[in-house]
Amino acid sequence: MIWVDIVALLALAQLVVFSVLVGRARARYAVAAPATSGHPVFERYFRVQMNTIETLLVFLPALWIAAKYWAPHYMALVGGVYLIGRLIYLKDYVREPKSRSLGFALSILPALALLLAALAGALRALLRG
C-alpha cells in the first residue's frame, strides 16, 4: 500500500501547487480576493484548481478503496496516470481551454476506473461473504 499512499500524497501536493499557482496568478493579474473572475488567465488557473478539487473527491476515496480489494501497485499505477493527466490538463487549459481534452481524459478516466474497481471489489467481497 505504500505506492498508493505515495500517489495519494502526490495528488494532495499537486493540489497545493495548483493553489500556489492560483495565488500567483491572482497577484500577477490583479484579481483581489475574494473575486474569482477578472483576467482570463487567472480564471483558467482558478478553474484548474477547482476542477482538481472536484476530481479529487472521487479519485482519493476510490484509490484507497480499490487498493483494498485489488493489487495496490496496479491501483497506484492508475493513480499515476491521473497525476500525469492533471499536469497535462493544467498546461493545456491555461494555454488554451479548448485544448484540455487529453488532460481531462487522462485524469477523469483513471478516477472512474478506480471508482468502478472499488465498487466491483466491494460487491465481490459482499457476495463471497
pTM above 0.85, yes or no: yes
What domain range is 57 assigned to? Answer: 2-124
Whether 78 shows a pLDDT value over 90: the answer reads yes
Name the domain count of the chain: 1
| Within-domain flag for 34 | yes
How many CA atoms lie less than 13 Å away from 102 in the CB half-sphere? 8
**pLDDT value, residue 129:** 82
Q: pLDDT tens digits, residue range 93-122?
A: 999 999 999 999 999 999 999 999 999 999
Domain of 119, CATH number, reads 1.20.120.550
Q: pLDDT tens digits, residue range 1-48?
A: 999 999 999 999 999 999 999 999 999 999 999 999 999 999 999 999
Closest among 32, 30, 22 to 53, alpha carbons compared:
22
| Within-domain flag for 129 | no
Closest among 125, 123, 83, 76 to 107, alpha carbons compared:
83
